[in-house]
Amino acid sequence: MTESSPQQLLHLVFGGELKATDSIEFKDLSKLDIVGMYPNFAEARRAWAAKAQGTVDQAQMRYFVVHIHRLMEPDDED
């Protein structure tokens, strides 16, 4: 019998300054802060929370968690 390890559910945390607080359009893509890739949502959320808390006084800074594992799954639709 082979041992199986838990599936990696990759998550990317990144952020940057938005052009306006009511949209999700970045002011300068070359200045995005790529925080890192995490093996599960819990770790990604901790990283996101730390970065978001650190920029709480900057209204136009936003950080996001992207579920990379969902993008890597094959599309079931034809």
Q: What string of pLDDT tens digits covers the 78 residues of the chain? A: 445 556 789 999 999 999 999 999 999 999 999 999 999 999 999 999 999 999 989 999 999 999 998 888 766 554
Report the predicted TM-score, pTM, of the whole model to 2 decimal places.
0.81
Residues 11 and 65: beta-carbon distance below 8 Å: yes
Sign (positive or negative) of CA dihedral 6, 67, 12, 74: positive
pLDDT of residue 1: 45
